[in-house]
């Protein structure tokens, strides 16, 4: 009965087939494996679970990951707005190449980015050496971790803001300008509010990516428990290497919940945004 | 656009451009250049030798195999998912779209863990597979073997193709397909003749991006592959070389990396060419 | 009846898109579904095409119940609002699409297309892509594409909405003549009453998911049956205090609708109206606006503001000027129906009107 209804109301063919493919592959390749993690971690008693995730190095790694991802996402929002602004509003030689390069962290394998950044900012590296002489140590510290996370998060923010800025009608600014608002005021009061949903989306994506990042951070961060430069992904991997599956899944569950929450918030922002703009 | 320029003083403009260029140079260009510089630091013969090492060649083979399979699977999936999400309305569409994007926001390490917990020693799929092996007299292994590497690669690159196609199909709407269906065209015929020309370039780009990510995946594969020379991919080989610590092997790690850098730059170049072409087309419309 | 809809109901969630729709259209006629946006006219058209499915009721085309027949097998041609031309195909390929699906031989396809190209005046544009055509040309292609597989019923969704106002009128007549020439039964949807009146043989007026009235354009114009139709068709203004006007009684009506052509105003020295000047009442001109081919004059009579059109050939009037006003007739209405009221005092009198 239900099937007949679906068939009757859709003119374009292929609903059953494509829906079938989509649900089948999504379930078997993505959802089922993730479910295995959840099921396994739920087998632990609450006491075991809490003991596992409140170990000092686990808590430290959560703190490190959240703090560094957050700061990196903030830094990316700041530079992301400037970069998007420059790319959308100005013409200058090399703009096209610059626009293309933004995508580099998407295309460059994380391990390659990781060893390169690590070398670059090490005591013997091109940037690390002068900085070390000034007394700043980057590689194998939280600062290094931060740089790696800024690197991989940048395109998320720029690519979220760019299209919105492109579509933003210059009349808004002109209206504000005619009403007597200065440049800074116009930007803060007129442009920034328009960018806010995109900015949140970009922030969320960059933050989520930073929380889960592994390849690009493990070389530069030093992974020292004492200096608290271990990230969550590293701790999970470490536990896997010691065949401590209980510990790994317990942490993974918390990570999954955080990821889902971020995903949920991003989706809600996008729904709200489309609703709001539809009324205009 | 031109009018804005007049208002903003040239000083602000060049200051912002300066900040951007500097930021990009330090954050993106310098690492790129440093890979190339490092990989040639022991001369060209060493570079060539590093690439010809047996481990490297094996890793290249594994990487390419995993990438080809993952890209094929995800292209197939991506087209199907994009079709169902953009051409029909149904309950839970938002949720479906969000679920497809899950691999974007999940740590690749967790992806690896997920397959370990499914097919590994403790996984629920372990005993059926063992039984199947006994029954068929085969020795199929998933984790710490090629199938695991392939599954992990599929997982992390899962949404790439669909994500590129969906916005294009959304913008195109469903009119043309409806008109064709009214005339009695079959689903495959409609896709081939009407939908495909619209998504051609997005599909090409999605496939390329998917390939790039598949070739470069590290975290997920790292959890599922432990045999250097057998199931190691290029990024794992780079990791092994880099961590072995001698300055020779670090240089070799950069040499192998340079292969992946070339690939990354190709991806970006192709994207720009595609964008430029579609932009030109839009202008002529 | 060639196309018949019987007791059609359609709801989207709690929203009633169609409520007990009954329509009959004769073979070879061009019918217009006319109504404000959201009145359910497009839903009706899409249900006939098979793009939507009614919750209950029968759709009958040429004596065959088509509810369970797929859109492709209903023998219809459909012209979409934005034409839905295949953007990556040339004009020729667009027209050939439906014929290729029917597996017609290449030669026949070619013949059919050149016939259609000639009919629609598109010769020479075969190799153009849709984005290289003007709005009017696109509409012709859409029309030709819909006709190509020889459908027995042509459905058009707002066929003129995407066209410049300037050439819209021209295309309207072109399409009407073309449809009559081909002799195909056609139904088009529009929210523009001029379009419906000018092009259609028959108008079906929809409102809030119901059919208000159907009939010939003249019939609907002269005898609106419901308050909605009386107000929707023609220029009209609602007058609550209609019974204060000379020659009209209150009755059991809720109000009345007066069109500009029902109102006459003249200066007191106008001899043409000397027979009925006693039946007129005094009004003051409040506003005059130029409407291109006439003046629109607003007159205050007591509490009532009446609108009339004044020919530019007549003597000029000024704001504040006192005029004699006569209302010939009006449409009074209650909740359900509308009724034509004639000015009682004028019955049997000879009248001159401009």
ipTM attached to this prediction: 0.87
Q: How far is CA C3 from the centre of its chain?
A: 19
Shared domain check, C289 and C217: no
Percent of chain B with pLDDT over 70: 94
Helix (H, G, I), strand (E, B) or coil at A128: helix
Question: In this structure, what are the phi and psi dihedrals at residue C189, rounded to the nearest 5 degrees?
Answer: -105, 135
Contacts of C68 in chain A (CB under 8 A): 8
- Residue of higher predicted confidence among C93 and A184: C93
Query: Taking CA atoms, what residue in C is nearest to A13?
Result: C70
pLDDT of residue A276: 64
The CATH number covering residue C306 comes to: 2.40.50.140
* Non-local CB neighbours of A257 within 8 Å, separated by 6+ positions: none
Q: What CATH number should be reported for the domain whose range is A40-278?
A: 1.10.3720.10
pLDDT of residue C344: 85
- Which position has the token pair 């709690």? C14
Shared domain check, C136 and C63: yes
| pTM score of the predicted model | 0.84
pLDDT at A114 over 80: yes
Residue C354 lies in a domain: no
Q: Give me C328's structure tokens.
A: 């010939």
What is the rounded distance in angstroms from the CA atom of residue A212 to the CA atom of residue A197? 23
Indicate the burial class of B274 (C-beta count within 10 angstroms; 0-12, 13-18, 19 or more): middle
Given an 8 Å threshold on Cβ–Cβ distance, is A11 in contact with C51?
yes
The shares of helix, strand and coil residues in chain A, as percent rounded to the nearest 5, are 80, 0, 20
**Domain termination site, one of C202, C225, C248:** C225
What is the rounded distance in angstroms from the CA atom of residue A175 to the CA atom of residue A181? 9
pLDDT of residue A5: 39
Q: Give the residue numbers spanning the domain of C267.
A: 237-346
- In chain A the beta strands, taken as DSSP E runs, fall at none
Chain A touched by C52 (CB under 8 Å): yes
pLDDT of residue A3: 36
Cβ contact C54:B187 at 8 Å:
no
- Which position has the token pair 């990510």? B213
What is the rounded distance in angstroms from the CA atom of residue C203 to the CA atom of residue C205? 6
What is the rounded distance in angstroms from the CA atom of residue C108 to the CA atom of residue C236? 53
Q: C-alpha angle with apex C142: C141 to C147, nearest 5 degrees?
A: 95
Q: C-alpha angle with apex B180: B174 to B185, nearest 5 degrees?
A: 130
Short-list B129, B131, B157, B159, CA closest to B143: B129
Q: Which chains touch A (3 or more CB pairs under 8 A)?
A: B, C
Helix (H, G, I), strand (E, B) or coil at B92: coil
Query: Taking CA atoms, what residue in B is nearest to C89?
Result: B194
Residue C93 lies in a domain: yes
Contacts of B13 in chain A (CB under 8 A): 90
What is the rounded distance in angstroms from the CA atom of residue A84 to the CA atom of residue A76? 11
- Name the CA radius of gyration of chain B, rounded: 23
Given an 8 Å threshold on Cβ–Cβ distance, is A205 in contact with B268?
no
Helix (H, G, I), strand (E, B) or coil at B255: helix
- Residue of higher predicted confidence among C90 and B11: C90
Q: Which chains touch B (3 or more CB pairs under 8 A)?
A: A, C
Given an 8 Å threshold on Cβ–Cβ distance, is C84 in contact with B178?
yes
pLDDT tens per residue across span A24-66: 999 999 999 999 998 888 888 999 999 988 999 999 999 999 9
Query: Taking CA atoms, what residue in A is nearest to C52?
Result: A9
Across chain A, mean pLDDT equals 87
The residue of A11, A12, A32, A125 whose CB has the most chain B CBs within 10 angstroms, and thus the best one to mutate to test that interface, is: A12
Poorest-confidence range of A111-120, A167-176, A215-224, B170-179? A167-176
With cut-offs at 50, 70 and 90, classify the pLDDT of residue B2. very low
The residue of A8, A12, A13 whose CB has the most chain C CBs within 10 angstroms, and thus the best one to mutate to test that interface, is: A8
pLDDT tens per residue across span A216-263: 999 998 888 888 899 999 999 999 999 889 999 999 999 999 988 988
Q: Which helix (H) or strand (E) holds B236?
A: helix B234-243
Shared domain check, C253 and C194: no
> What residues 112-151 of chain B have any CB closer than 8 A to a CB of chain A?
112-118, 120, 122-124, 151
Report mean pLDDT in 10-residue bins for chain C, 354 residues. 93 88 93 92 92 92 91 90 91 94 93 93 92 91 92 92 82 89 93 90 94 93 91 86 84 89 89 83 92 90 91 91 91 89 80 57
* Non-local CB neighbours of B169 within 8 Å, separated by 6+ positions: B82, B83, B86, B87, B195, B198, B199
pLDDT of residue A8: 45
pLDDT at B128 over 80: yes
- Residue of higher predicted confidence among C164 and B240: B240
Shared domain check, C210 and C83: yes
With cut-offs at 50, 70 and 90, classify the pLDDT of residue A128. confident
Nearest CB to B155; choose among A29, A240, A259: A29
With cut-offs at 50, 70 and 90, classify the pLDDT of residue A9. low
- Which position has the token pair 């919940």? A257
Residue C268 lies in a domain: yes
- Which position has the token pair 């495959």? B188
Shared domain check, C245 and C214: no
Residue C351 lies in a domain: no
Q: Mean of the pLDDT values across residues B132-147? A: 88
Contacts of A8 in chain C (CB under 8 A): 53, 68
With cut-offs at 50, 70 and 90, classify the pLDDT of residue A117. very high
Domain ranges of chain B: 43-279
- Domain B43-279: CATH class, spelled out: mainly alpha
Query: Taking CA atoms, what residue in A is nearest to C67?
Result: A8
Question: In this structure, what are the phi and psi dihedrals at residue A180, rounded to the nearest 5 degrees?
Answer: 100, 10
Residue C353 lies in a domain: no
Residue C164 lies in a domain: yes
**CA distance to A166, A171, B26, C182, per residue, from A203 (Å):** 19, 27, 21, 61
Indicate the burial class of C38 (C-beta count within 10 angstroms; 0-12, 13-18, 19 or more): middle
Chain A touched by C53 (CB under 8 Å): yes
Cβ contact C23:C5 at 8 Å:
yes
The CATH number covering residue C176 comes to: 3.40.50.300
- Where does residue C18 fall: left (phi above 0), alpha (psi -120 to 50 degrees), or beta otherwise? beta
Three-state secondary structure of chain C = CCEEEEEEEEEECCEEEEEEEEEEECCCCEEEEECCCCCCHHHHHHHHHCCCCCCEEEEEECCEECCCCCHHHCCEEEECCCCCCCCCCCHHHHHHHHHHHCCCCHHHHHHHHHHHHHHHCCCCCCCCCHHHCCHHHHHHHHHHHHHCCCCCEEEEECCCCCCCHHHHHHHHHHHHHHHHHHCCEEEEEECCHHHHHHHCCEEEEEECCEEEEEECHHHHHHCCCCHHHHHHCCCCEEECCHHHCCCCCCCCCCEEEECHHHEEEECCCCHHHCCCHHHCEEEEEEEEEECCCEEEEEEEECCEEEEEEEECCCCCCCCCCEEEEEECEEEEECCCCEEEEECHHHCCCCCCCC
Shared domain check, C132 and C58: yes
- Which position has the token pair 């052509």? C261
Shared domain check, C340 and C267: yes
Given an 8 Å threshold on Cβ–Cβ distance, is A8 in contact with C51?
no
What is the rounded distance in angstroms from the CA atom of residue B97 to the CA atom of residue C83? 29
Residue C323 lies in a domain: yes
pLDDT of residue A2: 37
Number of structural domains found in chain C: 2
pLDDT tens per residue across span C90-117: 999 999 999 999 899 999 999 999 999 9
Domain ranges of chain A: 40-278
pLDDT tens per residue across span B152-191: 999 999 999 998 999 999 888 888 999 999 888 999 999 9
* Non-local CB neighbours of C265 within 8 Å, separated by 6+ positions: C283, C297, C299, C308, C310, C323, C324, C325, C326
Give strand pairing partners of C281.
C325
Question: Residue A228 gets which letter from DSSP?
Answer: T
**CA distance to B39, B63, B154, B265, C172, per residue, from A105 (Å):** 19, 20, 20, 11, 56
Å from C57 to nearest chain A CA?
Answer: 15
Q: Give me C33's structure tokens.
A: 């579904």
Residue C267 lies in a domain: yes
Å from A272 to nearest chain C CA?
Answer: 22
């Amino acid at each position: 009965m239900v099937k007949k209804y679906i068939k009757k109301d859709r003119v374009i063919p292929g609903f059953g087939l494509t829906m079938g493919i989509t649900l089948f592959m999504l379930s078997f390749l993505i959802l089922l494996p993730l479910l295995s993690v959840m099921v396994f971690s739920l087998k632990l008693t609450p006491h075991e679970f809490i003991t596992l995730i409140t170990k000092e190095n686990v808590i430290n790694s959560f703190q490190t990951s959240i703090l560094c991802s957050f700061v990196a996402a903030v830094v990316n929002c700041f530079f992301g707005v400037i970069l998007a602004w420059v790319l959308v509003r100005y013409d200058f030689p090399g703009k096209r190449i610059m626009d293309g390069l933004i995508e580099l962290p998407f295309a460059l394998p994380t391990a390659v980015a990781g060893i390169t950044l690590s070398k670059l900012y090490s005591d013997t590296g091109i940037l690390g050496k002068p900085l070390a002489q000034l007394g700043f140590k980057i590689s194998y510290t939280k600062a290094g971790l931060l740089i790696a996370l800024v690197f991989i998060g940048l395109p998320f923010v720029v690519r979220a803001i760019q299209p919105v800025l492109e579509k933003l009608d210059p009349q808004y600014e002109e209206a504000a300008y005619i009403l007597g608002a200065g440049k800074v005021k116009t930007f803060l009061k007129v442009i920034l509010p328009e960018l806010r949903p995109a900015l949140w989306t970009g922030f969320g994506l960059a933050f989520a990516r930073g929380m889960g990042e592994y390849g690009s951070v493990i070389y530069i961060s030093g992974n020292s428990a004492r200096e608290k430069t271990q990230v969550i992904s590293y701790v999970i991997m470490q536990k896997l290497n010691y065949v401590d599956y209980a510990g790994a899944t317990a942490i993974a569950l918390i990570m999954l919940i955080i990821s889902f929450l971020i995903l949920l918030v991003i989706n809600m922002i996008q729904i709200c945004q489309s609703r709001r703009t539809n009324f205009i | 656009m031109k009018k804005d320029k007049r208002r903003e003083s040239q000083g602000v403009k060049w200051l912002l451009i300066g900040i951007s260029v500097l930021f990009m140079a330090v954050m993106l260009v310098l690492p790129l250049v440093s890979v190339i510089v490092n990989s040639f630091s022991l001369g060209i013969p060493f570079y060539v030798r590093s690439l010809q090492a047996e481990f490297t060649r094996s890793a290249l083979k594994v990487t390419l195999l995993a990438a080809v399979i993952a890209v094929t699977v995800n292209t197939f999936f991506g087209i199907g998912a994009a079709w169902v999400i953009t051409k029909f309305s149904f309950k839970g569409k938002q949720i479906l779209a969000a679920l497809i994007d899950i691999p974007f926001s999940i740590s690749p390490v967790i992806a690896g863990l997920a397959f370990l917990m499914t097919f590994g020693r403790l996984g629920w799929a372990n005993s059926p597979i063992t039984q199947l092996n006994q029954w068929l007299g085969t020795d199929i292994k998933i984790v710490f073997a090629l199938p695991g590497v392939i599954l992990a690669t599929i997982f992390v690159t899962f949404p790439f193709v669909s994500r590129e196609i969906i916005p294009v199909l959304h913008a195109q709407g469903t009119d043309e397909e409806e008109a064709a269906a009214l005339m009695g065209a079959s689903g495959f015929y409609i896709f081939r003749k009407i939908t495909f020309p619209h998504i051609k370039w997005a599909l090409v780009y999605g496939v390329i991006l998917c390939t790039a990510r598949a070739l470069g995946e590290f975290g997920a594969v790292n959890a599922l592959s432990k045999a250097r020379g057998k199931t190691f991919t290029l990024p794992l080989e780079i990791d092994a070389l880099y961590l072995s610590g001698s300055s020779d092997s670090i240089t070799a790690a950069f040499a192998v990396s340079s292969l992946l850098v070339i690939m990354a730059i190709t991806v970006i170049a192709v994207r720009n060419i595609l964008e430029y072409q579609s932009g030109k087309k839009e202008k002529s419309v | 009846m060639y196309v018949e809809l019987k007791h059609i109901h359609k709801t989207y969630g709690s929203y009633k898109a169609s409520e007990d729709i009954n329509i009959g259209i004769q073979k070879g006629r061009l019918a217009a579904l006319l109504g404000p946006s959201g009145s359910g006219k497009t839903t009706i058209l899409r249900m006939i095409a098979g793009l939507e499915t009614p919750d209950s009721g029968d759709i009958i085309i040429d004596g065959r119940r088509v509810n369970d027949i797929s859109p492709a097998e209903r023998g219809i041609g459909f012209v979409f609002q934005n034409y839905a031309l295949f953007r990556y195909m040339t004009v020729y390929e667009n027209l050939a699409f439906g014929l290729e699906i029917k597996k017609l031989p290449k030669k026949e396809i070619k013949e059919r297309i050149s016939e259609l190209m000639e009919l629609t005046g598109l010769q020479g544009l075969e190799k153009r892509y849709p984005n290289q055509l003007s709005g009017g040309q696109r509409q012709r292609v859409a029309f030709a594409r819909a006709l190509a597989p020889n459908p027995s019923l042509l459905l058009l969704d707002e066929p003129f909405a995407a066209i410049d106002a300037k050439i819209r009128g021209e295309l309207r007549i072109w399409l009407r003549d073309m449809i009559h020439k081909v002799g195909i039964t056609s139904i088009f949807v529009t929210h523009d009453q001029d379009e419906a009146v000018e092009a259609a043989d028959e108008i079906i007026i929809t409102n809030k998911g119901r059919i208000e009235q159907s009939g010939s354009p003249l019939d609907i114009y002269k005898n609106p049956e419901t308050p909605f139709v009386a107000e929707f068709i023609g220029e009209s203004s609602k007058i609550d205090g209609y019974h204060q006007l000379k020659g009209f009684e209150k009755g059991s009506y809720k109000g009345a609708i007066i069109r500009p052509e029902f109102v006459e105003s003249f200066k007191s020295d106008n001899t043409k109206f000397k027979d009925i000047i006693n039946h007129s009442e005094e009004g003051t001109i409040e506003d005059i606006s130029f409407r291109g081919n006439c003046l629109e004059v607003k007159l205050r009579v007591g509490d009532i503001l009446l609108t009339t059109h004044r020919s530019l050939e007549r003597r000029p009037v000024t704001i504040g000027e006192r005029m004699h006003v006569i209302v010939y007739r009006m449409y009074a209405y209650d909740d359900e129906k509308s009724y034509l009221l004639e000015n009682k005092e004028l019955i049997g009198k000879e009248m001159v009107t401009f």
